[in-house]
Structure 1
Amino acid sequence: MKTNKSTFSLKEIYHKMEYFCAYQERCYKEVEEKLYSFSLSISEKEQVLTYLIENNFINEARFAKSFARGKHNYKNWGKNRITQELKFRDISSRIITEALSEIPTETYFDNFNSLAEKHWHSIKEQKGPKKNKKFVDFLLRKGYESNLIFEKLKELDN
């Protein structure tokens, strides 16, 4: 049996949103979108959001830092992709800069080099423009800086 989300009391919605935020780090935009699934008035939505922020269930800086570390360490995303995704979630530029500083420079370059070399050797094309394009496109999609990519391409293409 499917329950109608509009039948929840405000107290139940508070508890559901606390769990939603405690389960995984969330940004303001994600929580706001989740609240749209409940039939709440604008003032009730604001009341819930204020409560979540005041009780530290929502913290944009903490979310951005966790997001940046996680996406870089587990998905091997570069700084451009992380920045783009955080901007999509309406995170401020100052917080994005702070979050990117959470990634140690040495780790960033180590991850980039191992990912680039692994991908270079996995491309089945013979050396040439087609292989180079696949290599560059892959790393650009991952969000790495073009100057890093082209330096690595020069190094591997020799």
Structure 2
Amino acid sequence: MEKKSFTFDEIKLKLVNYCVYQDRCHAEVEQKMREFLLIDEAKDEIILYLLKENYLNEERFTRSYIRGKFYIKHWGKNKIRIHLKQKQVSDKLISSCFDEIDEEDYEKMIKKIYDDYYSKQKGLKEYQKKSKTIKYLMSRGFEYEKINDTFGET
């Protein structure tokens, strides 16, 4: 299949729309740019334009990603951090954006997932149900210490 060729302005518009549709990180935009045969100078110019016009904003992307993955997908901080690192977002930025998650909501989420999952465990001894449930929470990206703290109160 032959690649359709676009003018610089068409490519720029396509990338603006790509960023407008949903917040993107630099890595995603660079990946998308690989679809178009652009010289480095053109890529740099588009990235600078997207940044200057605020279509591309790594902090906004990170904050919206954290909110979505926690409040909608119910992921813990470890899993969110790993996925953001795969998108080449810096540790410093990730850490500074975790204030998007309310601590109280985080503990409530741990309790809710724990109770839901725990109640589905049938025919197991108490300690087995508990250990399976903790493993499950950890696989969702919740920190072991945090899980323990949440249940140290009960």
Structure 2 length-normalised TM: 0.89
Question: 2 CA distance for matches of 1:155 and 1:85?
Answer: 31
Offset, 1:21: 0.2
Report the equivalent of 1:44: 42
Question: 2 CA distance for matches of 1:152 and 1:101?
Answer: 19
Offset, 1:127: 2.2
Structure 2 counterpart of 1:98, one-letter code: S
Report the equivalent of 2:104: 106
User: In structure 2, the residue corresponding to 1:101 is in which secondary structure?
Assistant: helix
Report the equivalent of 1:66: 64
Q: Mark the runs of 5 or more structure 1 residues left unpaired by the alignment.
A: none
Report the equivalent of 2:87: 89
Question: 2 CA distance for matches of 1:62 and 1:109?
Answer: 24
Report the equivalent of 1:15: 13
Structure 2 counterpart of 1:62, one-letter code: R
Report the equivalent of 2:3: 4
1:113-132 matched pairs, under 5 angstroms: 113-128=111-126, 130-132=128-130
Deviations 1:42-93 (A, max 9, x none): 1111111111111111101101111111110011111111111111111122
Query: What's the RMSD between the two structures over aligned residues?
Result: 2.1
Structure 2 counterpart of 1:51, one-letter code: Y
Structure 2 counterpart of 1:80, one-letter code: N
Q: How many residues align?
A: 154
